[in-house]
Structure 1
Amino acid sequence: MFDVLESGLVLCLALSVMFSVGLDLDFRKLILTMEFGLPLAKGLLVNLLLIPILVIGCLSFFALESAPSIAILLCALCAGGSTGLLFSLHAKGDMIFSLSLFMVLNLLSLILVPIYLVFMVDFYLPDDRVSEPLTIFGAAVMSIFWFQILPLAVGMSVRRYSFGMAIKIYPYSKKIANISLVCLFVGFAITKWQSLVAMPLLSIVLLMAIVVGTVLVSAVFGPLGVAVGRSMVFVTVVRNLTLALLVSDRVFDDAEITLVILTYGLFMYIACALLLLITKRLKV
Structure 2
Amino acid sequence: MSTVAVAALLIASMLAVGTAATVDDFRGLAARRGLVVSAVVINVVLVPGLAVVLVTAAGLRPEVALGVLLAAAAPGGGTGALLTLHARGDLAISAALQVLLAPIGLVAVPLWATVAGHEVIPSGTAGPLLIGGGLLGQVAPLAVGMWLRRSRPETAARAHRIARRVADVLLAGLVLYFVTTGVGRLPQVGWAAVAVIALLVIAALTPVAVAWLGGPAERRAVAMTTGVRNLTLGLFFADAASPTVVLTVLAYGLIMYAVCVPAAFAARGWPARTRES
Query: Fold match, TM over 0.5?
Result: yes
Instruction: Specify the alignment match of 1:273 in structure 2.
Output: 261
Residue aligned with 1:192, SS: helix
CA drift of 1:150 comes to: 3.5
Aligned counterpart for 1:18 among listed residues 10, 14, 17 = 14
Instruction: Specify the alignment match of 1:32 in structure 2.
Output: 28
Q: Is the 8 A contact 1:16 1:174 kept in 2?
A: yes
Q: How far, CA to CA, are the matches of 2:187 and 2:214 in structure 1?
A: 34
Q: Is the 8 A contact 2:63 2:244 kept in 1?
A: yes
* Unmatched runs of 5 consecutive residues or more in structure 2: 273-277
Residue identity opposite 1:76 in structure 2: A
CA drift of 1:281 comes to: 4.7
CA drift of 1:272 comes to: 0.8
Aligned counterpart for 2:76 among listed residues 77, 80, 91 = 80
Q: How does 1:1-284 map to 2 (within 5 A)?
A: 3-4=1-2, 7-117=3-113, 119-120=114-115, 123-124=117-118, 132=123, 137-138=127-128, 140-156=130-146, 158-159=148-149, 162-216=152-206, 218-221=207-210, 226-249=216-239, 252-282=240-270, 284=272
13-22 vs 175-184, which deviates more? 13-22
40-49 vs 220-229, which deviates more? 220-229
Relative distance call for 1:227 and 1:158 in structure 2 (3 A) is closer
**Structure 1 length as normaliser, TM-score?**
0.83
Deviations along 1:170-229, whole A, 9 cap, x unmatched?
Answer: 20111000111112222222221111245322222222222222223x334368971111
Q: Is the 8 A contact 1:115 1:137 kept in 2?
A: no
Deviations along 1:114-165, whole A, 9 cap, x unmatched?
Answer: 4444x325x146xxx9965x67842541341353234334444555664432
Residue aligned with 2:205, SS: helix
Relative distance call for 1:201 and 1:138 in structure 2 (3 A) is same
- Matched-pair identity in %: 25
Residue identity opposite 1:229 in structure 2: R
Q: Is the 8 A contact 2:75 2:102 kept in 1?
A: yes
CA drift of 1:282 comes to: 3.5
Aligned residues: 271
Residue aligned with 2:229, SS: coil
* Unmatched runs of 5 consecutive residues or more in structure 1: none
**Structure 2 length as normaliser, TM-score?**
0.85
Q: Is the 8 A contact 2:87 2:267 kept in 1?
A: yes
Q: How far, CA to CA, are the matches of 2:185 and 2:152 in structure 1?
A: 47
Instruction: Specify the alignment match of 2:275 in structure 1.
Output: none
Residue identity opposite 1:264 in structure 2: Y
Residue aligned with 1:213, SS: helix
Q: How far, CA to CA, are the matches of 2:7 and 2:61 in structure 1?
A: 26
Q: How far, CA to CA, are the matches of 1:157 and 1:227 in structure 2?
A: 28
Q: How far, CA to CA, are the matches of 1:27 and 1:111 in structure 2?
A: 24
70-79 vs 96-105, which deviates more? 96-105
